[in-house]
Chains A and B, each alone.
Chain A
């Protein structure tokens, strides 16, 4: 928990501080206060579910289930975690249940999974780390990141999402997914290598198109 919250930037932490009175008001029966919490956090929950499940229809269901679950279980929110962290944990559990259900229905993803080959380092590497998309994320880059993560095999996609997108610690991921920390780290490493490769192609092409 501690690490996930350290992952938040200062404005997010300030925003979280402002959640506490809203949670208290919602607990006292003020539905408008709960609506404010929903409006504030719906994007994080929705895109978490989108990346997790790769299907908008499922992500919309998870969004509804998560906030309904949060509303009904608000009294169990103890405030030792941030409200957003608590919500993302509910969403993650709902996503995992949905994945199991989808598997029983034998749904097959139409996305071609990316091949992961992390055994050798290419000799020529373009350093695109100084790319100007630093200041505020461009929508084109954001879209590309969504497409890239969607191409990862499910086991690696979920670990990358929980660690690098949502800021969970390796320990929390290990507990949530029921696997060892070593397995989490290994999947994360391979996922990051694959994402770096895809992003390298993307930034190289952008450079070529600029010329």
Chain B
């Protein structure tokens, strides 16, 4: 396993979509390869940050929320 293989397989590795033998090879490689450790850690963190951004959205601007509520009262609320 070379560094370029890690680069190519990193997404499947993080998504746990690789064969266990290939995972083992990756883990053996990154154990002794400092740039690859940093690469895998930062890729993992990148995915985590986007996961978190989805789960913790900023509040909707007040005028957008007001507009939505008025729209729904007008178009969805039963008479």
Binding site for B on A (CB under 8 A): 7-9, 12, 29, 31, 34-35, 38-39, 42-44, 46-48, 60, 63-64, 67-68, 71-72, 118-129, 131, 133, 136-137, 139, 141-142, 145-146, 149, 160, 164-167, 170, 185, 188-189, 192-193, 195-196, 199-200
Bound-complex Cα distance A111 to B68 (A): 27
B22 within 8 A of A: no
Q: What residues of B have a CB within 8 angstroms of the CB of A123 in the complex?
A: 35
* Structural contact, B57 and A72, CB atoms closer than 8 A: no
Contact with A along B39-57 (1 / 0, CB 8 A): 1011111110111111111
Enumerate B17-61 residues with CB–CB distance to A below 8 Å. 17, 35-39, 41-47, 49-60
Bound-complex Cα distance A119 to B44 (A): 19
Count of chain B residues with a beta carbon within 8 Å of a chain A beta carbon? 44
Bound-complex Cα distance A118 to B3 (A): 12
Given contacts A145-B49, A189-B10, contact A44 B54 (CB under 8 A): yes
Q: What residues of B have a CB within 8 angstroms of the CB of A146 in the complex?
A: 53
In terms of DSSP, what is the predominant structure of the interface of chain A?
A: helix
In terms of DSSP, what is the predominant structure of the interface of chain B?
A: helix
Bound-complex Cα distance A145 to B55 (A): 13
Bound-complex Cα distance A46 to B52 (A): 16
* Structural contact, B71 and A64, CB atoms closer than 8 A: yes
* Structural contact, A200 and B43, CB atoms closer than 8 A: no
* Structural contact, A129 and B41, CB atoms closer than 8 A: yes
Q: What residues of B have a CB within 8 angstroms of the CB of A136 in the complex?
A: 56
8 A-B pairs besides A118-B7, A142-B56 with CB distance below 8 A are A64-B67, A67-B68, A72-B76, A123-B35, A127-B37, A141-B49, A149-B50, A193-B10
Bound-complex Cα distance A43 to B7 (A): 35
Q: How far is the CB of B25 from chain A (nearest CB, A)?
A: 16
B69 within 8 A of A: yes
* Structural contact, A121 and B58, CB atoms closer than 8 A: no
Q: What residues of B have a CB within 8 angstroms of the CB of A68 in the complex?
A: 71-72, 75-76
Interface centre among B6, B37, B39, B46 (most CB of A within 10 A): B46
Bound-complex Cα distance A35 to B71 (A): 12
Q: Contact check: which of B45, B56, B57 meets A129 at CB < 8 Å?
A: B45
* Structural contact, A164 and B47, CB atoms closer than 8 A: yes
Q: How far is the CB of A11 from chain B (nearest CB, A)?
A: 9
* Structural contact, A125 and B54, CB atoms closer than 8 A: no
* Structural contact, B46 and A42, CB atoms closer than 8 A: no
12 A-B residue contacts at CB 8 Å?
Answer: A31-B77, A39-B65, A44-B57, A67-B68, A118-B7, A121-B6, A125-B35, A125-B38, A139-B58, A145-B50, A149-B50, A199-B42
Q: How far is the CB of A165 from chain B (nearest CB, A)?
A: 4
